[in-house]
Amino acid sequence: MKKSCVLAYSGGLDTSVILVWLQEQGYDVHAVYVDLGQPCEDRQAVLEKAHKCGAATAQIIDVREELCRDFAFPVLAWRAKYEGIYLLGTSIARPLISKVCLQVARDVGATAYAHGATGKGNDQCRFQLAAEALDPKIQMIAPWRMPEFRKAFPGRTELIAYCEKNDIPVKASTAKPYSSDENVLHISYEAGKLEYLDVHGVELVDFGMGVSPQQAPDAAEEITIGFESGVPRTLGGQELTALEIVEQLNAIGGRNGVGRIDMVENRFVGMKSRGVYEAPGMTLLYDAHMYVEQLTIDRDLAHLRDRLSPEVAEMVYYGFWYTPKMDALMAFNREAQKPVTGEVTLSLYKGNISVVKRSSPYSLYDAEIATMEGGGSYNQDDAEGFLRIQGLPSRVQGMVRPRAY
């Protein structure tokens, strides 16, 4: 019986080679292009190329709405940013790709799941950890971790030569200055010239989702975003799907130069790497969500969430999506987010985001209590006893172990 596998297929250089190479190893290969809203790719051309290269089956599966609704928005509600800056656009998509590929494997009777991630990066972890959690019996095929594959293809030159020999159409060239990964949430850029830290990454990259702040309009643009229990629901008062919100905010943020970062991050496998990212729509959502949260979540709950948020970001970045710990954390935050309902108006100007106004039916902000003017229900006399109690441990310690000053 011939072996059968599902390949997470992008149509790029690596997976194009892997599709043909796996057939040489005796596999029927079912190519799956998971449509994540990649803004710069020709889906039909990718499908035709898979058929041309001998795929047993090839299909495009659209999960754009699911990506935004069930993966990106729960991470947004956690305010999770890896190492304080990265919005996890690639990381969020990988467990969904694995889920879709395993669904196809089940449908076609394949026992193996192949991907084109390298043995040095994070994606191999995300693909495999997700797949094994969903189907512990699945056989993982990671050609870049196989010595015979690396011996045949030590670099891009050999990959391109293999494509020419086997009549595989690819656009790659040996002179490409970096590689990219894209979906509706963001585009990442890494490798090539970006591996050199004296290269100005934001100037090198030809961004695909927006203009630079310098090229943005000279007038500010305002946008109003509405949330319901921590979930984005409306733009400008109009109710939209999750995908529509992200796409429209990508356009708005993109034309105003919002959402570009350049960082050196710590990969799960242990090394540091440099990446340039753009995520205009998600950047706007993170800011808008923050302003509604500031009104609606009490201090102790907000601070607990803030302590847990880096843990969630780390789990997403590493690939631990389908785990009991993540299930429990997501359940916690669904409860915590219940009052996070309201609207915020942002002003965008040349890459900058400022808040114009915010409101919520569940706002905990009481101007009469907070005012520096007289009146209100706050009795300043109460602060005397409050501070005497708070200062008690310090007074006792100061008498027992006086500090020099």
Structure tokens at 288: 């808008």
273 catalytically annotated? no
Give the separation between CA 7 and CA 25, rounded to whole angstroms.
Answer: 14
**Contact (CB, 8 A) for 223 and 283:** no
Structure tokens at 284: 């706007």
Residue length, the chain? Answer: 405
Structure tokens at 396: 């006792």
| List 64, 79, 94, 358, catalytic entry | 94
| List 179, 229, 273, 359, catalytic entry | 179
For the chain, the straight-line distance linking the first and the last C-alpha, in angstroms and rounded, comes to: 83
Structure tokens at 355: 């808040």
Give the separation between CA 349 and CA 123, rounded to whole angstroms.
Answer: 34
| List 123, 181, 262, 287, catalytic entry | 123
354 catalytically annotated? no
94 catalytically annotated? yes
Give the separation between CA 37 and CA 182, rounded to whole angstroms.
Answer: 8
| List 14, 28, 181, 262, catalytic entry | 14
106 catalytically annotated? no
* Catalytic residue list: 14, 94, 123, 179
